[in-house]
Amino acid sequence: MTQRTDSLANMRLGPYLLAEVIGRGGAAAVYRAHQVSLGRDVAIKVLHRSADPQFAARFAREARAIAQLQHPNILPVYDFGEEGEVQYLVMRYVEGERTLRDLLASGPLEPAQALRLIARLLDALHYAHGRGIVHRDIKPGNVLLPEPDWPLLADFGIARFGGEASQLTMTGQTIGTPDYIAPEQATGQPAAPRGVDVGAGGMPYELSLLTI
């Protein structure tokens, strides 16, 4: 029997007991879950097997690539697995799922806080670029905040991973969020890592406008 990703609450995936949905995308849902073996909460991104095979291939590659990133400002990946009709990616759970978007909506920031956020995000991007990974969807909603000035870059679902990405991303296809993409992305053309992750420049601009 086919199961939808939004109907898995209270079910088990391996050692993980799924709770409520905390995020949703076109082909996947993110759940808060409990890892019974270690007694901790985690976030699990679940992709339904009925999704396009290209999505499934990208999902597995996302897990392998991001698991190699060991940076204090990149959301860590703990595990990847398949069970029945679903694939799942296990990540750190951030209590409250507060994002930079929420912070920007809450009012002006102290200039020092804005600078710390910018510096840490840029350092995380520089680290990822140095390992051949281009995020391609830098925006406030993809930055989690476990602490007010400690960002965690998340959601590498449409990232480009080194030379392999060209096999799974078609030229002419627009990738990313319109308000934060580079001109090259808007026209579906290839771009260098620094150009593609231009959203990292848009967010500092937003932060600067919202400082006290």
**Boundaries of every domain in the chain:** 5-92, 96-209
CATH number for 5-92: choose from 3.30.559.10, 3.30.200.20, 3.60.15.10, 3.40.190.150: 3.30.200.20
Number of C-beta neighbours around residue 193 at 10 A: 17
Residue 60 burial (10 A CB sphere; 0-12, 13-18, 19+): middle
Would you state the structure tokens that stand for residue 19, as one six-digit string? Answer: 């709770």
Calculate mean pLDDT across residues 96-113. 89
Report the 10 Å Cβ neighbour count for 175.
18
Residue 137 annotated in active site: yes
Per-residue pLDDT of 10-53, as tens digits, reads 899 999 999 999 988 767 899 999 999 999 999 999 987 667 78
CATH topology of domain 96-209: Transferase(Phosphotransferase); domain 1 (1.10.510)
Give the rounded percent of residues in the chain with a pLDDT score beyond 90.
39
Among the options 137, 149, 179, 197, which is catalytic? 137
Count of other CB atoms within 10 angstroms of residue 207: 22
| Complete DSSP assignment for 67-101 | HT---TTBPPEEEEEEETTEEEEEEE--GGG-BHH
pTM of this prediction? 0.78
Nearest to 20 by CA among 4, 9, 35: 9
pLDDT tens digits for range 175-197? 445 454 555 545 555 555 554 45
